[in-house]
Structure 1
Amino acid sequence: MQHEHIDVLIVEDENELAQLHAELIGKHPRLRLVGIASSLAEAQTLLSSLQPQLVLLDNYLPDGKGITLISNPLLVHANCSVIFITAASDMDTCSLAIRNGAFDYILKPVSWKRLSQSLERFVQFAEQQRVWKIVDQQNVDSLYQLQAKNYRQDNGSKGIEENTLALVQTLFNDQAAHCFSVDEVVNETGLSKTTTRRYLEHCVDAGFLSVEMLYGKIGHPRRMYRRSAE
Structure 2
Amino acid sequence: MQPEIFDVLIVEDESQLARLYADLIHQHPQLRLFASATTLSEAKAFLRQCPPKLVLLDNYLPDGKGISLIESELLKGLDCSVIFITAASDMDTCSQAIRCGAFDYILKPVSWKRLRQSLERFVQFANTQRTFKVVDQQNVDILYQLQSKNFNDEGGNKGIEENTLSLIREIFASEQQQYFSVDEVVQHTGLSKTTIRRYLEHLLDIGTLSVEMRYGKIGHPRRLYRRTER
TM-score (norm. length: structure 1)? 0.97
Aligned residues: 230
Structure 2: distance between partners of 1:66 and 1:131:
32
Cα distance, 1:62 vs. partner?
A: 1.0
Corresponding residue for residue 119 of structure 1: 119
Report SS of the residue matched to 1:7: strand
Distance 1:87 1:156, change over 3 A: same
Matched, 1:209 2:209: yes
Corresponding residue for residue 75 of structure 1: 75
Corresponding residue for residue 94 of structure 2: 94
Report SS of the residue matched to 2:217: coil
Cα distance, 1:44 vs. partner?
A: 1.0
- Contact 1:155 1:206 survives alignment (8 Å): no
Unaligned runs of 5+ in 1: none
Report SS of the residue matched to 1:196: helix
Cα distance, 1:83 vs. partner?
A: 0.2
Structure 2: distance between partners of 1:48 and 1:192:
36
Report SS of the residue matched to 1:176: coil
- Contact 2:85 2:108 survives alignment (8 Å): yes
TM-score (norm. length: structure 2)? 0.97
String of CA shifts for 1:37-76, please: whole Å, max 9, x gaps.
1111111111111211100000011111100000212211
- Contact 2:117 2:153 survives alignment (8 Å): no
Corresponding residue for residue 59 of structure 2: 59
Structure 2: distance between partners of 1:209 and 1:108:
16
The alignment-based identity, stated in percent, is: 68
Distance 1:153 1:49, change over 3 A: closer
Structure 2: distance between partners of 1:98 and 1:215:
29
AA at the equivalent of 2:30: R
Corresponding residue for residue 143 of structure 1: 143
Unaligned runs of 5+ in 2: none
Cα distance, 1:33 vs. partner?
A: 0.4
Cα distance, 1:203 vs. partner?
A: 0.4
Q: CA RMSD in A?
A: 1.2
- Contact 2:11 2:55 survives alignment (8 Å): yes
Report SS of the residue matched to 2:226: strand
Cα distance, 1:151 vs. partner?
A: 3.6
AA at the equivalent of 1:143: L
Structure 1: distance between partners of 2:126 and 2:78:
14
Structure 1: distance between partners of 2:154 and 2:30:
23
Report SS of the residue matched to 2:34: strand
Matched, 1:197 2:189: no
Corresponding residue for residue 10 of structure 1: 10
Structure 2: distance between partners of 1:226 and 1:15:
22
- Contact 2:117 2:150 survives alignment (8 Å): no
String of CA shifts for 1:18-53, please: whole Å, max 9, x gaps.
100000001101001011111111111111112111
Structure 2: distance between partners of 1:64 and 1:121:
28
AA at the equivalent of 1:149: K
Matched, 1:165 2:165: yes
Report SS of the residue matched to 1:56: strand
Report SS of the residue matched to 1:223: strand
